[in-house]
Amino acid sequence: MRLQPFRLVPLFDPRPWGRMDLAPWFPPAAEPIGEVWYHERNRTAVGPALKELLAGHGAELLGPAVDTPVFPLLAKFIFTADKLSVQVHPDDDYARRVEGQWGKIEAWYVLRAEPGARLALGLKERLEPERFREAASNGRIEQLLEWRQIRPGDVFVIYPGTIHALGAGVVLVEIQQNSDLTYRIYDYGRPRPLHLDQAVQVATLGPYPGSPAPVALPDGWVLLARTRYFSAELRDLTGPVRYEPDASRFHLLVVLEGRGALAGQAMAAGDCWFVPAAAAPFAIEPVGTLRLLRAYYPGGD
């Protein structure tokens, strides 16, 4: 069975730290939007939700390399007008034992960063659990984080256990293991629950180990991040290309910049396209420069 690529309809998630100006990726919002999601719960441009299509055509859509019990990927755009909470994600072992679900690893690719925009990854020094708990309780944890200035094009892998926070004035795209399991450590007084007991058990109470540098691949793509649960690759197109789907696994193609046509269908910044494993080769025709992020589940290699 040969299937055509299809577009996922975005899911908009309001957050207190989000923003209403989402240009050029999406129209203006009526309330602050923090995240725009693409995963199995999204409706598709062909009608049904992706989850419904998977129920009827899972093998043709996903491919034999995707052997996970749940859809493996979640892609997001994140928009910040204020600071996110200081938070941490557990690994699979803890999450399965305690929460009955997957843990979470993610990668960030920065699209925009206002002057002075920054994020925090890890701690400046190693802390004992008691000092960490005290700092989280009184807010001093913000001063103990390792903050760094960021700019467009930066790539960061957020490993399970990494204490992290994202500042204001940032737009980024995130590719992650399909899990929404987050433990908040400090939230600047917002009336949302914290999860300090869990965070103490899963957090790495020390410096961030760093992210691998991007690697140019022979086929023209640039590898941004590769983990057990996802690979994320980037490519700029300035002329037509023939896209060869992978018969062993589906691809997600996220349009970061520009516009054009994919398999004869209009595509624009903010789009996320699902490329079935059983899809036939198709043309991508940019208008000007088109920047794409490709994500897939690497299992089965």
- Same-domain pairing of 247 and 139: no
- Same-domain pairing of 144 and 244: no
**Local confidence band at 2 (pLDDT 50, 70, 90 cut-offs):** low
- Same-domain pairing of 171 and 220: no
Q: Where are the alpha helices (DSSP H) in the chain?
A: 50-62, 92-94, 129-138, 141-144, 196-202
Q: Average the pLDDT over 28-41 and give the result.
A: 98
For residue 263, pLDDT over 60 is answered with yes
In a domain, 207, yes or no: no
Question: Do the beta carbons of residue 274 and residue 246 sit within 8 Å?
Answer: no
- Here the CATH number for the domain that contains residue 118 is 2.60.120.10
Q: How many domains does the chain have?
A: 2
Query: Which DSSP symbol is given to 168?
Result: S
In a domain, 234, yes or no: yes
- Same-domain pairing of 55 and 197: yes
* Domain end (from 148, 169, 202): 202
- Same-domain pairing of 38 and 144: yes
For residue 1, pLDDT over 50 is answered with no
- Same-domain pairing of 184 and 223: no
Q: Has 126 been annotated as catalytic?
A: no
- Same-domain pairing of 191 and 229: no
Q: Average the pLDDT over 60-80 and give the result.
A: 96
* Assigned token pair, 117: 């925009």
For residue 284, pLDDT over 90 is answered with yes
Domain ranges, residue 47: 6-62+69-202
- Same-domain pairing of 80 and 156: yes
What phi and psi values does residue 62 have, to the nearest 5 degrees? -85, -40
**Local confidence band at 299 (pLDDT 50, 70, 90 cut-offs):** confident
What confidence tens digit (pLDDT) does each residue in 172-193 have?
A: 999 999 999 999 999 999 999 9
- pTM for the whole thing? 0.96
- Same-domain pairing of 148 and 291: no
Question: Which pLDDT does position 202 carry in this prediction?
Answer: 98
Which residue among 7, 184, 249, 294 is the active-site one? 184
**Local confidence band at 300 (pLDDT 50, 70, 90 cut-offs):** low
What confidence tens digit (pLDDT) does each residue in 185-232 have?
A: 999 999 999 999 999 999 999 999 999 999 999 999 999 999 999 999
- Same-domain pairing of 154 and 37: yes
Alpha carbons 181 and 90: distance in angstroms, whole number: 8
For residue 30, pLDDT over 50 is answered with yes
In a domain, 208, yes or no: no
Question: Which pLDDT does position 271 carry in this prediction?
Answer: 98
**Rounded to 5°, angle at Cα 163 from 73 and 187:** 95
In a domain, 1, yes or no: no
What confidence tens digit (pLDDT) does each residue in 85-116 have?
A: 999 999 999 999 999 999 999 999 999 999 99
- Same-domain pairing of 252 and 153: no
Question: Which pLDDT does position 3 carry in this prediction?
Answer: 84
Q: Average the pLDDT over 160-167 and give the result.
A: 98
In a domain, 157, yes or no: yes
The contacts of residue 95 (CB under 8 Å, 6+ apart) are: 101, 102, 103, 104, 179, 181
Provide the mean pLDDT of the chain: 96
- Same-domain pairing of 196 and 239: no
* Domain end (from 169, 202, 235): 202
Question: Which pLDDT does position 262 carry in this prediction?
Answer: 98
